[in-house]
Amino acid sequence: MNKILIAISIAVLFTLALSLPLDSISGREKSEETAEYGNHYEGDMLLNKDQLDALSSPERNGLINEKYRWPNKTVPYQLSANHTKEQQDYIEVGLKTLESVSCLKFVRRTNETQFVNLTGEADGCYSSIGFQNKSQNLNLQKYEPGSGCFRLGTIMHEFLHALGFYHMQSAYDRDDYVEIKWDNITPGMEHNFNKYNSSVVTHFNTTYDYESVMHYGAFGFSKNGNATIVPTDGDLGKIGQREGLSKKDIWKLNLMYECENTVEPEPEPEPEY
């Protein structure tokens, strides 16, 4: 009898899986993304007043403004005692990775008053945008290394925010590359899909990057398990990842901080007529 019940259960689950739309999110994908889709601006960004003003005023600059770049290409940071030694080590792997592809330096804080203060509060992963000229928090909720806020790509994602990067899908030309499925977005969360004026965000002379570690996944802020961001060609598998930096991420980071570039982004394919 137990074998029959198990067989029936498997059959039911298989049928339900087949009935899911192709743009629906799996349970694993949802749990992997949840940590970045919190209650801050666009889920994980802490904006100061000038940056909030820049959202409505094209006369102000955000990421383009050089006052948000770290002086001397050096970022002091302070680890949190709330993180385990294993988690601290994983953070430093992410920082060493950023150092390895740029001329930036991440150094343990001694007596600096302008630094990134790592915290481990239980409310997701988030960061200020760019240099704040004071102590600024970067929160990584405690997860096992390799999951949640402690995916290596997520650690670098949050530190790229701290270095001055916004989300990829906020770009002024994003509608040429992705379609926002407004009907699938959790009510009240639509602002997380705003675009920035071209005076606020720049591609640094590169093209739109589906593979950027700064791109939302397809299901960010979904109310129903269906995709909220769909590439214009419908290929959900190619947007957003938290495994590592894309070539264009590295290219833009080095242009922003005037480092010698060690990679060249692949050229866009010629349009078909």
- For residue 136, list its beta bridge partners: 116
Model pTM? Answer: 0.78
Q: Determine what percent of the chain is predicted with pLDDT higher than 90.
A: 53
Q: How many domains does the chain have?
A: 1
Report d(CA 214, CA 246) in Å as an integer.
9
Among left, alpha and beta (phi > 0; psi -120 to 50; other), residue 11 is: alpha
Asked if residue 63 has pLDDT above 90, the reply is: no
Pair 45, 129: CB distance under 8 Å: yes
Report d(CA 14, CA 33) in Å as an integer.
24
178 within a domain of the structure (yes/no): yes
271 within a domain of the structure (yes/no): no
Asked if residue 22 has pLDDT above 50, the reply is: no
- Note the pLDDT tens digit of each residue in 210-255: 999 999 899 988 999 999 999 998 888 888 888 899 999 999 999 9
CATH code, 180: 3.40.390.10
40 CA to centre of own chain: 13
pLDDT band at 75 (very low <50, low <70, confident <90, very high): very high
pLDDT given at position 28? 33
Helices vs. strands in the chain: H and E counts, helices first: 6, 8
Size of the chain, expressed as the number of residues it contains = 273
96 within a domain of the structure (yes/no): yes
Report d(CA 227, CA 134) in Å as an integer.
38
* Among candidate residues 161, 164, 132, 170, the one with its CA nearest the CA of residue 55: 170
Pair 194, 55: CB distance under 8 Å: yes
Domain span at residue 220 reads 27-256
Report d(CA 228, CA 180) in Å as an integer.
6
217 within a domain of the structure (yes/no): yes
170 within a domain of the structure (yes/no): yes
Give the lowest-confidence range in 24-28, 78-82, 85-89.
24-28
16 within a domain of the structure (yes/no): no
- Which positions are catalytic? 158
17 within a domain of the structure (yes/no): no
119 within a domain of the structure (yes/no): yes
Residue 99's alpha-carbon distances to 102, 142, 179, 238, in angstroms, are: 5, 24, 34, 26
pLDDT given at position 102? 97
Report d(CA 120, CA 266) in Å as an integer.
37
Task: Report the run of H or E that residue 162 belongs to, with start and end.
Answer: helix 152-163
